[in-house]
Structure 1
Amino acid sequence: MKIDQEDEQTSLVRRWGLPLGIAAGVAALSVVAVTVVGGERAAEPVQAGSGGSPTSAAASSGPGRGSSSAGAGTTPSSAPSASAPHAVTVTSVTTTPIKAEAVGRILSSCLGSDAARFHPVIAVRTPAAAKDWDGTVIAVDSAGQYVQCQTKGERGSSPDVPPTFINDRLWGTGHLVEYFDSIGQPAGKGRYLSLGAGHYTSGVAKMTVSYGEDPKQYPVVMAGGAFFYSASFSTGSSTAKLIAAMSTPYVHAYNAAGKEIYNQKKDPQFTGTSR
């Protein structure tokens, strides 16, 4: 965790890690290791509107690795939390589409000559602009490998070296959700931006995300077997430690019947109870 001296807020870059043997292959300067994801068929880029709801999506068909079915509950709540007011509060989760011509330039600057191999499935601007990011493009190639490129204007970048996710390792029966990069950064005085993405399998019909200990769940953009979430926060005079804790994202997944079939808070991969 790095503290932004000018804004006195947290600049956080977090990714979900691999087992040590795989993580060793990631560049030494990377903060943490890249996770792997599963192959999905390509789809048209999602055009997300208010609340991050997609206007196009494709069901995934491949097996999943990374997060097993964990927890069960009711359908997501859209009502405000009944708990006491939080010092760090969500102010917006609204994403907006990135124009097709800009998407091409973003992928080219992020991937170089490899850009032609990738087909965008999600391309959206975040609810607020941070110093380094104002959106994300997620794309997939014919082999089912995904890439997540953060945007700033019409330029794309990735903290991963190379900026692709290997999809043919560590997949197992019963897993539903896999994670790409999850990052956060100050977005001006008293504001903070969080964003993250990942991959879901065919048993997942709907996804949401909650933040910190607040039970309220927000929409997640889903398309082409990938998902994306983002939120801007009002931080007030909160400390960096509080901002990090209360903006921590937790993904939830539901089946077609509306039953919660995955809760990241109960995932052994993150609770430290995995074998």
Structure 2
Amino acid sequence: MKIDAEDNRPSLRSRWGVPVAVAAGVATLSIGAVAVFSGAGEAQPVLASPAGNPTGAAASPSAGAAHGSTSGGTGGTSSSGQGSSAPAVYTVTSGKTTPIDAGTVTRILSSCLGADASRYHAVIGVRTPLASKDWDGVVVAVDSAGQYVQCESKGDKGNSPDSPPTFINNRLWGTGRTIAYFDSIGSPVGKKQLAMLGAGHYASGVARITISYGDDPKQYPAVMAGGAFVYAAALATEASHIDPMDVGGPNPYVHAFDASGKEIYNQQKDPQFAR
């Protein structure tokens, strides 16, 4: 388990976490213009209709609680001093990502990938709504062979936990090969907040990707560009502290939709991740 948290606590999201995230790699970027860095502004939640299709935003990201997923291995955090402990209740307080400028992206990828950075073209570079001790954003890039890398950023420095950084490619596809999972991590920020970050690749035919957290049905749009997607969120809990042994937090679940709005992939229903 990666130590990636305040006060040297264990990461809430294992690099090889199940069922959701699985790790993936780093990104490199060619210096030129970083064209897409979309995702600025507050991501509005999308509610899933009974048919599984996303509908218009009905509440702000701070409304409603994202409950820990009992099926997804959410750790239990005592919310009171009483004898039985209840799972911590998490609220998504922000899904906002902000673009990283092209010059900073270049420096992130250079420090992350060294001489290989010039082979890559960045497709997404964003800051997360909360900064952890070790990271505050991510850059995803791709080379001419379609090999992706993912670099987590801290300021203008980048880091990849994968060796080689392209190790993320074809490492974990969901059933049907619609969604591939790159690195996904989480980290406590202070005593009552979590920062979460994840990325992946999507196949042709996917027009929209959203993320839900734990048992909460709200879905938040992911940033999509160049065949890659990134999601980030800030979450809060009323628990007095985040238990160091709570290595799950609310699991993020990926939902993919085609151009007609039909859900064509739901990670919560993917037998690949059944436990």
4+ runs of 1 displaced by more than 6 Å?
2-6, 81-85, 168-173
- % identical equivalent positions: 59
Q: Are the structure 2 counterparts of residues 142 and 100 from structure 1 closer, same or farther at C-alpha, using a change threshold of 3 Å?
A: same
The aligned counterpart of 1:144 is 146
Which has a greater percent of strand? Answer: 1
Residues 1:262 and 2:265 are matched in the alignment: yes
Q: Name stretches of at least 5 consecutive residues in structure 1 with no aligned partner.
A: 18-31, 37-42, 54-71
The aligned counterpart of 2:72 is none
Specify which of 99, 102, 109 is matched with residue 100 of structure 1. 102
Q: Report how many aligned residue pairs link the two structures.
A: 236
Q: Are the structure 2 counterparts of residues 256 and 248 from structure 1 closer, same or farther at C-alpha, using a change threshold of 3 Å?
A: same
Kindly indicate whether the alpha-carbon contact (under 8 Å) linking 2:24 and 2:162 is maintained by their aligned counterparts in 1.
no
Q: Report the residue type matching 2:115 in the other structure.
A: S
The aligned counterpart of 1:115 is 117
The CA deviation at 1:77 is 6.1
Q: Which moved more, 1:144-153 or 1:77-86?
A: 77-86
CA distance in 1, matches of 2:91, 2:178: 29
Q: Are the structure 2 counterparts of residues 47 and 168 from structure 1 closer, same or farther at C-alpha, using a change threshold of 3 Å?
A: closer
CA distance in 2, matches of 1:232, 1:153: 18
Q: Are the structure 2 counterparts of residues 193 and 243 from structure 1 closer, same or farther at C-alpha, using a change threshold of 3 Å?
A: farther
Specify which of 53, 65, 75 is matched with residue 74 of structure 1. 53
CA distance in 1, matches of 2:11, 2:212: 20
- TM-score, with structure 2 as normaliser: 0.74
Kindly indicate whether the alpha-carbon contact (under 8 Å) linking 1:212 and 1:248 is maintained by their aligned counterparts in 2.
yes
Kindly indicate whether the alpha-carbon contact (under 8 Å) linking 1:211 and 1:249 is maintained by their aligned counterparts in 2.
yes
Q: Are the structure 2 counterparts of residues 209 and 239 from structure 1 closer, same or farther at C-alpha, using a change threshold of 3 Å?
A: same
Give the 3-state SS of the residue equivalent to 1:114 in structure 2.
Answer: helix
Give the 3-state SS of the residue equivalent to 2:145 in structure 1.
Answer: coil
Residues 1:233 and 2:235 are matched in the alignment: yes
The CA deviation at 1:45 is 3.1
- TM-score, with structure 1 as normaliser: 0.74
Q: Name stretches of at least 5 consecutive residues in structure 2 with no aligned partner.
A: 26-33, 45-50, 68-88
Q: Report the residue type matching 1:271 in the other structure.
A: A
CA distance in 1, matches of 2:171, 2:66: 43
Give the 3-state SS of the residue equivalent to 1:164 in structure 2.
Answer: helix
